[in-house]
Each structure stands twice: as structure tokens, then as C-alpha cells.
A = this chain, B = another copy of it.
Amino acid sequence: MSTARRVTATDVARRAGTSQSAVSRVFTPGASVSPDLRERVMEAARSLGYRPNAIARSLITRRSRIVAVAMADLGNQFYPLVLEALSARLQAEGYQILLFTADPAAPSDPMIEQVMRYQVDAVVLASTGLSSALARECRALGVPVVMFNRMTDDPDLSCVIGDNERGGRDVAAFLAAAGHRRPAFIAGLEGSSTNRDRERGFVRGLAEAGLAAPARAAGHYSYEGAAAATRALLREAAPDAIFCANDHMAIACMEVARHEFGLSIPGDLSVVGFDDVGPARWRSYDLTSFSQPLGPMVEATVGMLLEFMDDPSLPVRRVVVGGELVLRGSARRPAGPLPHP
């Protein structure tokens, strides 16, 4: 029953009365084959149900047309959308995604080690949990690496990020202009570059507006973490605004503020997020948020990947994709016109 031996190019060749190499050429775009032969081969292939073996092809071409994507935190709505967009874009270019989900708890280097065995043509790291030592190692092997929404000081690594520092600063300027006096900050993962830059921008922005450094608590980019951080801040710091390092946490923050502390938003408390992900637009939240434009970020990533795969010796690049503060109802607005950034 399962004796269904796979149909090979040789089988097709025999049926079409030609050689295996001719069959190969028919399935290789741009190769030189006469229309007549091409038709015969296609016909034979169709009737036999031939499907080229990408594994065998990869072995010889040394290109798998597979891109490894490392992700974590699929519970944060930002990442699934990134994945969807990346996948669609790469599929359109004829690449497949080998997915690698990192458990933020466990060390994930040994797992991606496994992925590297598949001779992937490139790697996208969109998970904070992966060491950049690993990224460097890939690069040393000649495999292009792009860090997505993530950065290191390492000058040898390419990345695509949103404008985190400016975002933090804009939020600070906005909150200050609206008359908030005691803004607080809920941090994401302490080690992450996104969090560091957003916080730095926020703190600087507040300073520029003549406000003191904000109270802060860490939410680790998780729902529960942000809920706990909100409780702590509301109990101890009496803030009149909270800037959360991403929307996922901002939602948790709003839930706690409203339902556990009975606060009205933005009457008693303004809340601002980062990412401008789907739920930010849901009416219950109507979240003011600094956007990270998914489309352009993915476009930049795929563009770099394609170029690097074409020529691995190209110089490292760091792309910053601009975003903007999207004003909604979760934060009190300045009376006058907005300060222009």
C-alpha cells in the first residue's frame, strides 16, 4: 500500500524518452529547453504526479530556500502578525519558513543549533531570548542574520527596529504637554533593547519637559507581569499617567486600573502603549499608542534578507522604521495644538 515509491526525475525522463538532466532543466527557470521537449516532459511529469525533491536539490545547489525564523511570545498579538506578514512575503519570493519558537525560560541556543543543521539560507531573530553570540556564529558560517525588533551593540549584526527612543520621547512630550505631572513607566523585559530604548527616550523626554524621572515597575512584556506592575505603581506612586513598553501590557494596565482600582481612563489616569496592535483599536481600550508599522518593518527585513542571500559580503545594515504617536482616547490630550516633534 505505502509502496508508493516516490516519482523521481529519472522516472519522468524514461517516460518522456529523454534524460534526467533534461527533466531537471525543464524545472529550472531560465534553462534552455526546446518547447517540444518541455511539453513532453511536463506531460510525463503530470501523468506520473512528479514533484521535484527540494531536499535533493538543496544538497547540490547548497541553497535550501528555507529561512529560519525564531520567535517567542506568540501571546503578544504583535508577533503573530509579524509572522503572518513575513511568511506571506517570503512565500511570494519562493522561500519557506522553518519556525523556531523559543521558550523564554529555557536556554534556546541548543534548539536553534538544531535548526542550523537544515542549511537554512538566512535567519530572522525575533525573540529576545536568543543570545547574540548565536547570531554572530551564524554570520561566521556565512548565513545572513537579521534581528527583528531587536538590537545589540555588536556592530556585526544587522537589524530592523522601530524608532523606540523617539517613540518614548514623543510619548513623554505628549503626556507633559497634556499637563501630566507624575507619569510612570511599566518596563518590558529588562534585558531587551526595545525596552531600554523606549525607557531611555521616555526619561529623556520627561527631563526635557522639566519633569522628574518616572516611577517604574517591570512587567516583562507579559500580561500578568504588567498587571502586577500596575498594582504596585498605583498603590505606591500615585501616577497620573502610565506609559507601558508595549500594548499587550497597556491592556493589562487598563484592566487593573479600571476594575481593581475603579479608576476612570483617561479621567483619573492616562495610559499609553507601544506597537499600535489590533486590540489598541478595540473600543474598550481605544489605546493611544506609538505605532510600529508592521508592513514597512517586514518589507525592510525581507529586502535585506534577499540582498544578503544574494551577496553575503554586503555590509551590515541597521534600519530604523519610523512610527508615530496614534492619538486615541486612553490618554488625556493637550488643550492647545500638539508640540511638533
Contacts and interface: CB of A to CB of B under 8 A. Distances in A.
Interface string A75-103: 10101110110011001001011111101
A284 interface: yes
A39 to B, nearest CB: 20
Interface in A113-143: 113-119, 140-142
B115 A96 contact: yes
A264 interface: no
Number of copies: 2
Contact of A251 (B2, B111, B282): B282
A149 B283 CA distance: 30
B77 A140 contact: no
A116 B53 CA distance: 9
Interface stretch (A13-21, A56-64, A158-166, A203-211): A56-64
Given A2-B312, A2-B313, A96-B98, A119 B53 contact: yes
Interface in A210-236: 223
A74 interface: yes
A4 interface: yes
A255 interface: yes
Nearest to A118: B54
Contacts of A99: 69, 83, 87, 96-99
A150 B223 CA distance: 30
Interface of A: 1-2, 4, 6, 51-56, 58-59, 64, 66, 69, 74-75, 77, 79-81, 83-84, 87-88, 91, 94, 96-101, 103, 111, 113-119, 140-142, 223, 251, 254-255, 258-259, 278-279, 282-285, 312-313
Nearest to A282: B255
A258 B283 contact: yes
A258 B285 CA distance: 13
Nearest to A5: B142
Nearest to A76: B80
A75 B81 CA distance: 7
B83 A74 contact: yes
Nearest to A96: B98
Of the listed residues A51, A77, A99, A259, the one surrounded by the most CB atoms of chain B closer than 10 A to its CB is A99
23 contacts: A2-B142, A4-B141, A52-B117, A54-B118, A55-B55, A55-B58, A55-B59, A55-B119, A66-B118, A69-B99, A75-B77, A75-B84, A84-B101, A88-B103, A91-B101, A94-B114, A98-B98, A223-B278, A254-B284, A258-B283, A259-B283, A279-B279, A284-B285
